[in-house]
């Protein structure tokens, strides 16, 4: 299994560090693409870095954390082959894998607590895409990459 890529801006830095500890406890390999402190940075830079890592095949799934998760998801979804979901409940974290084959999970440190974030990550990592009737729609989504 390829490692998970993870990145945040300053507003998601603290939660990213906690999620990294959770991944370590779960023996899930990850690559941290920054940021590396709570000093102010621009979230598009980190979302872009993470998406490029997936596009280059270094990972097939990523986690992005900012204040809300929204800015990160907006940037991520402008990248070819990326289907990013900004979620704050476990039902959606699971469903976006099953139905949308989401490959990037986004959430906000100002929105979710650490316990919920770990549940979102767990649902995202352990849930398989269902394919079948969803494939035509995912192909439709991907058609806008062109
Ligand atoms: C930073 O203040 C904040 O705007 C950013 O982390 C994010 O929430 C943007 O969507």
Q: What is the DSSP string of 9-53?
A: -GGGHHHHHHHHHHHHHTT--EEE----SSS---HHHHHHHHHHH
The answer, yes or no, to whether any atom of ligand 1 lies below 6 A from the CB of 66, is yes
The closest residue, in CA terms, to atom 10 on ligand 1 is 71
Question: Would residue 86 show up in a list of annotated catalytic residues for this protein?
Answer: no
The domains located in the chain, with CATH, are 4-143 (3.40.1400.10)
The closest residue, in CA terms, to atom 8 on ligand 1 is 67
**pLDDT for 1 beyond 90:** no
Tokens 């549940």 correspond to what residue?
119
Between strands 62-66 and 4-8, the pairing is: parallel
Q: Does the pTM exceed 0.75?
A: yes
In angstroms, what is the span from residue 109 Cα to ligand 1's centroid?
A: 10
Instruction: Tell me the mean pLDDT in the region 105-129.
Output: 98
pLDDT in tens, 3-24: 999 999 999 999 999 999 999 9
Question: Would residue 106 show up in a list of annotated catalytic residues for this protein?
Answer: no
Tokens 């990592």 correspond to what residue?
125
pLDDT in tens, 66-87: 999 999 999 999 999 999 999 9
**pLDDT for 134 beyond 90:** yes
The closest residue, in CA terms, to atom 5 on ligand 1 is 67
């Amino acid at each position: 299994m390829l490692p998970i890529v993870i990145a945040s801006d300053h507003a998601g830095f603290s939660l990213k560090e906690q999620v990294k500890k959770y991944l370590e406890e779960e023996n899930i390999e990850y690559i941290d693409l920054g940021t590396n402190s709570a000093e102010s940075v621009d979230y598009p830079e980190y979302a872009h870095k993470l998406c490029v890592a997936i596009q280059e095949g270094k990972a097939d799934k990523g986690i992005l954390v900012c204040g809300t998760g929204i800015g990160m998801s907006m940037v991520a979804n402008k990248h070819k082959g990326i289907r990013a979901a900004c979620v704050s409940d476990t039902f959606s974290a699971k469903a976006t894998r099953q139905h949308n084959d989401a490959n990037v999970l986004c959430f906000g440190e100002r929105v979710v607590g650490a316990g919920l974030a770990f549940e979102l990550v767990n649902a995202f990592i352990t849930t398989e895409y269902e394919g079948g009737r969803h494939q035509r729609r995912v192909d439709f989504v991907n058609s806008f990459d062109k």
